[in-house]
A and B are shown apart, each in its own frame.
Chain A
Amino acid sequence: MVAAKKTKKTHESINNRLALVMKSGKYTLGYKTVLKTIRNSKAKLVIISNNCPPLRKSEIEYYAMLAKVGVHHYNGNNVDLGTACGKYYRVCCLSIIDPGDSDIIKSMPGDH
Chain B
Amino acid sequence: MVKFLKPGKAVLLLQGRYAGRKAVIVRNFDDGTRDRPYGHCLVAGIKKYPSKVIRKDNTKKTAKKSRVKAFVKVVNYRHLMPTRYTLDVDLKDVVTVDTLQSKDKKVTASKETKKRLEERFKTGKNRWFFTKLRF
Contacts and interface: CB of A to CB of B under 8 A. Distances in A.
Interface stretch (A8-16, A35-43, A82-90): A35-43
A66 B4 contact: yes
A39 B78 CA distance: 10
Interface in B2-32: 2-5, 30
Contacts of A59: 81
Contacts of B30: 40
Interface of A: 35, 39-41, 43-44, 59, 63, 65-69
Contact of B39 (A39, A63, A65): A39
21 contacts: A35-B78, A39-B5, A39-B39, A39-B77, A40-B3, A40-B30, A40-B39, A41-B1, A41-B2, A41-B3, A43-B1, A44-B1, A63-B82, A65-B84, A66-B2, A66-B82, A67-B2, A67-B4, A68-B1, A68-B2, A69-B1
Interface in B57-90: 77-78, 81-82, 84
A24 B94 CA distance: 48
Contacts of B4: 66-67
Interface residues of B, number: 12
A35 B39 CA distance: 12
Contacts of B2: 41, 66-68
Nearest to A66: B4
Contact of A67 (B1, B39, B77): B1
B44 to A, nearest CB: 20
Nearest to A39: B77
Contacts of B84: 65-66
Given A39-B77, A66-B84, 11 more contacts: A39-B5, A39-B39, A41-B1, A65-B84, A66-B2, A66-B4, A66-B82, A67-B3, A67-B4, A68-B2, A69-B1
Instruction: From A40, A59, A65, name the one whose CB has the most chain B CB atoms within 10 angstroms.
Output: A40
Instruction: From A35, A39, A59, name the one whose CB has the most chain B CB atoms within 10 angstroms.
Output: A39
Contacts of A44: 1
Q: 7 closest A-B pairs (Cβ-Cβ)? A: A66-B4, A68-B2, A41-B3, A67-B2, A41-B1, A67-B4, A69-B1
A95 to B, nearest CB: 11
Contacts of B5: 39
